[in-house]
C-alpha cells in the first residue's frame, strides 16, 4: 500500500504508537521498542518493513491455513465486491454466498449439524451460542436452565460473552467478567496439573468435575458445557484419551447441550475437518471462525444441530439476535472458495500424511533439548514445555512465563513466529507447510532454544 511503500519503518512505528491501540498489549511498553511492521505474506512466509523473511509458525493467529498471498482467493473477493458487496440476511432476504457456504458447511459438519448462524468472528459466534442455548431451554419451558459450564484457562474470545466463557484469569481480572450464570471447572492439563497420576487417570478426574458441577448446581439449572477439543490459546493442551469420552458420557447422561469451540481446531487443523472428528466428540453446536476463510476475510459462525435449530426456529417468535455482517457476502464467498480449495488440493491428506508425520518426528526430537520437558503435536497444532527439571515437570520458579517470553523473542529475532504461553511454546503453522519449510522451522526453533537462557 502507499503508506508502507513510502514511509520508513521508524516513521510507521511512530504513527502506530501515536494512533493505534493494540489488542492484548501493554501499549506504552510496545511504543518504546516499536512494533515490527509486517508488509507482505507469501505461502508460509511474512516479510517485514526491513525486508526480513519470517516463517510464520502460527499461521497468523491460527487462521491462515492455506498460506498467504493466494490470488484465487483475492480474485473471488474482488469479484464478489463488484457483484454484491453487501446485503443483510435479516429481513426476509438471503444471498447466494451465504446460502452456498451454509450448505457447504452443513455438508462437511458431522451428524445433524445442518444449520449455520453467521458471525463476524469466533467471539461473536460464542456470544450467539450463549443466547442460543439459553433461548433453546426457554422455548422448552425451562428458562431457569441457563448456566453454562466452561473451563479454567479455556479461550472463547474477548467480547463480554466470549471473555466470560473463557477461563483466563488475566481476562477476568479486567472489566467485570464473567457475566452471570457462567461457571468454570478445571482443565485436562496433565503435564502441569496431573501430579503423580497417569494422564488417563487425570483425564477422568477432570472430566468428572463436570458431573460434580452439574450435581452441585442442579441439572435443572445447567444449559450447556463448552470446550475447545484441544485448548489452543491456553497452551495447546492436548487432553488425555479418557477426557472427551467421559465428558460426552456426562453430557448425554444429564441431557445438557455440548458446544465444541472449533475456532482453532475446525477446518483441518487436527487432520480432520473438525477437532470433534479427531477426538470423537458429538456436539450439538460448533463454534467456527479462523480457518473457515483461512483468515482472508473475517467470518465466524455457529453450526447448529437439528434439535436446537428446530426448537428455536419453531418457537413462534423471532430469534432476537444478529450482526450487520452476519454472512457478509464477500467473506462468505471467500470462505466457500477456501473450503473448495481445501478439497481440490487435498489439504487434509497433506496434513495427515505429509506435514504431520514429517513435523512430528522432528518436533518430538526437540524433547531431547535440555530445556524441553515435553513436545506434543496433534495434526499441525503443537507445543513444547520449557522446564528446569524434566523429571518433575517443574515450572521455572522466577517470574512465570519469562523464559517462554525470552524464547519467543529469540524466535522472532531468528525470523520465526512461535508464540509462548507461560513456559510453553506453541505452534500452528499454515496447513500447506512443506517438508523443506518444516526443516527451516525446526532449524530456527532449535537455534532459538539454544539461545534461550
Ligand atoms: N474460540 C477459540 C477457541 C479461539 O481460539 C478464539 C480466538 O483465538 C476465539 C474463540 C475467538 O475468536 P475471534 O478472535 O475471531 O473473536
Question: Per residue in 185-220, is it b (16+ CB within 10 Å) or e — as a string?
Answer: bbbbbbbbbbeeeebeebbbbbbebbbebbeeeeee
Would the CB of 192 count as within 6 Å of ligand 1?
Answer: no
CA pair distance 318, 336, nearest whole angstrom: 27
For residue 332, what is its C-alpha cell?
462468505
Tens-digit pLDDT string for the chain (453 aa):
555 567 999 999 999 999 999 999 999 999 999 999 999 999 999 999 999 999 999 999 999 999 999 999 999 999 999 999 999 999 999 999 999 999 999 999 999 999 999 999 999 999 999 999 999 999 999 999 999 999 999 999 999 999 999 999 999 999 888 999 999 999 999 999 999 999 999 999 999 999 999 999 999 999 999 999 999 999 999 999 999 999 999 999 999 999 999 999 999 999 999 999 999 999 999 999 999 999 999 999 999 999 999 999 999 999 999 999 999 999 999 999 999 999 999 999 999 999 999 999 999 999 999 999 999 999 999 999 999 999 999 888 665 558 999 999 999 999 999 999 999 999 999 999 999 999 999 999 999 999 998
Q: Work out which ligand 1 atom sits closest to the CA atom of 122.
A: 12
Domain assignment of residue 103, yes or no: yes
Q: How far is the CA of 119 from the centre of ligand 1 (A)?
A: 12
Would the CB of 228 count as within 6 Å of ligand 1?
Answer: yes
132 and 231 fall within a common domain:
yes
Domain assignment of residue 236, yes or no: yes
Predicted confidence (pLDDT) per residue in 46-65, tens digit: 999 999 999 999 999 999 99
Owning domain of residue 410: 36-69+346-450
Rounded to 5°, angle at Cα 126 from 168 and 400: 15
CATH number for the domain that contains residue 399: 3.90.1150.10
Q: Work out which ligand 1 atom sits closest to the CA atom of 126.
A: 10
Phi, psi for 100 (deg, rounded to 5)? -65, -40
Q: How far is the CA of 453 from the centre of ligand 1 (A)?
A: 32
Would the CB of 235 count as within 6 Å of ligand 1?
Answer: no
409 and 281 fall within a common domain:
no
Predicted complex ipTM: 0.99
Q: How far is the CA of 365 from the centre of ligand 1 (A)?
A: 30
Q: Which among 327, 344, 361 is the end of a domain? A: 344
Interacting residues of 131 by C-beta distance below 8 A, sequence separation 6+: 319, 321
Domain assignment of residue 355, yes or no: yes
50 and 62 fall within a common domain:
yes
Q: Which among 344, 373, 392 is the end of a domain? A: 344
326 and 363 fall within a common domain:
no
Q: Tell me the β-bridge partners of 32.
A: none
Q: Work out which ligand 1 atom sits closest to the CA atom of 232.
A: 5
406 and 385 fall within a common domain:
yes
Q: Which among 311, 329, 344 is the end of a domain? A: 344
Residue of 263, 296, 301, 421 to test ligand 1 pocket, by largest number of atoms within 8 Å of CB? 263
- Sign of the CA dihedral 319, 325, 326, 328? positive
Domain assignment of residue 31, yes or no: no
Q: How far is the CA of 155 from the centre of ligand 1 (A)?
A: 7
82 and 56 fall within a common domain:
no
- What is Dmax (Cα atoms) for the chain? 64
Domain assignment of residue 25, yes or no: no
Would the CB of 154 count as within 6 Å of ligand 1?
Answer: no
151 and 211 fall within a common domain:
yes
Would the CB of 60 count as within 6 Å of ligand 1?
Answer: no
For residue 199, what is its C-alpha cell?
494422564
Q: Work out which ligand 1 atom sits closest to the CA atom of 233.
A: 5
Is the whole-model pTM more than 0.90?
yes
**Number of domains forming the structure of the chain:** 2
Q: Work out which ligand 1 atom sits closest to the CA atom of 300.
A: 15
Q: How far is the CA of 196 from the centre of ligand 1 (A)?
A: 32
Amino acid at each position: 500500500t502507499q503508506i508502507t511503500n513510502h514511509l520508513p519503518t521508524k516513521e510507521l512505528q511512530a504513527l502506530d504508537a501515536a494512533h493505534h491501540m493494540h489488542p492484548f498489549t501493554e501499549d506504552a511498553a510496545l511504543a518504546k521498542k516499536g512494533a515490527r511492521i509486517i508488509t507482505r505474506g507469501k505461502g508460509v512466509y511474512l516479510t517485514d518493513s526491513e525486508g526480513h523473511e519470517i516463517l510464520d509458525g502460527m499461521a497468523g493467529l491460527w487462521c491462515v491455513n492455506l498460506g498467504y498471498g493466494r490470488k484465487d482467493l483475492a480474485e473471488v473477493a474482488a469479484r464478489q465486491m463488484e457483484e454484491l458487496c453487501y446485503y443483510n440476511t435479516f429481513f426476509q432476504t438471503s444471498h447466494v454466498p451465504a446460502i452456498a457456504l451454509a450448505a457447504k458447511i452443513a455438508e462437511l459438519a458431522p451428524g445433524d449439524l445442518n444449520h449455520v448462524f453467521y458471525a463476524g468472528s469466533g467471539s461473536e459466534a460464542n456470544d450467539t451460542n450463549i443466547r442460543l442455548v439459553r433461548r433453546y431451554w426457554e422455548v422448552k419451558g425451562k428458562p431457569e436452565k441457563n448456566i453454562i459450564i466452561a473451563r479454567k484457562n479455556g479461550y472463547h474470545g474477548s467480547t463480554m460473552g466470549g471473555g466470560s466463557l473463557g477461563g483466563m484469569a488475566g481476562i477476568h481480572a479486567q472489566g467485570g467478567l464473567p457475566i452471570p450464570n457462567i461457571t468454570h471447572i478445571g482443565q485436562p492439563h496433565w503435564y502441569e496439573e496431573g501430579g503423580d497420576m497417569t494422564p488417563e487417570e487425570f483425564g477422568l478426574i477432570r472430566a468428572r468435575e463436570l458431573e460434580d458441577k452439574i450435581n452441585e448446581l442442579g441439572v435443572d439449572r445447567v444449559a450447556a458445557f463448552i470446550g475447545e477439543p484441544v485448548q489452543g490459546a491456553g497452551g495447546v493442551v492436548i487432553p488425555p484419551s479418557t477426557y472427551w469420552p467421559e465428558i460426552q458420557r456426562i453430557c448425554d447422561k444429564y441431557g445438557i447441550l455440548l458446544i465444541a469451540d472449533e475456532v482453532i481446531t475446525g477446518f483441518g487443523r487436527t487432520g480432520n475437518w473438525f477437532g470433534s472428528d479427531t477426538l470423537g466428540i458429538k456436539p450439538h453446536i460448533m463454534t467456527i471462525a479462523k480457518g473457515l476463510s483461512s483468515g482472508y476475510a473475517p467470518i465466524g459462525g455457529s453450526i447448529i444441530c437439528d434439535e436446537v435449530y428446530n426448537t428455536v426456529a419453531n418457537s413462534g417468535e423471532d430469534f432476537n439476535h444478529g450482526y450487520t455482517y452476519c454472512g457478509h457476502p464477500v467473506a462468505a464467498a471467500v470462505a466457500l472458495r477456501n473450503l473448495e480449495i481445501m478439497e481440490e488440493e487435498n489439504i487434509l491428506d497433506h496434513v495427515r500424511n505429509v506435514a504431520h508425520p514429517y513435523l512430528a518426528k522432528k518436533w518430538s526430537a526437540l524433547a531431547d533439548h535440555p530445556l524441553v520437558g515435553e513436545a506434543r503435536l496433534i495434526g499441525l497444532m503443537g507445543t513444547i514445555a520449557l522446564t528446569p527439571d524434566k523429571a518433575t515437570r517443574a515450572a521455572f520458579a522466577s517470574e512465570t512465563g519469562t523464559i517462554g517470553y525470552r524464547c519467543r523473542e529469540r524466535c522472532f529475532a531468528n525470523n520465526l513466529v512461535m508464540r509462548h504461553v507461560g513456559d510453553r511454546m506453541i505452534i500452528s503453522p499454515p496447513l500447506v507447510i512443506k517438508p523443506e519449510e518444516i526443516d527451516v522451522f525446526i532449524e530456527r526453533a532449535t537455534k532459538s532454544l539454544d539461545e534461550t537462557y
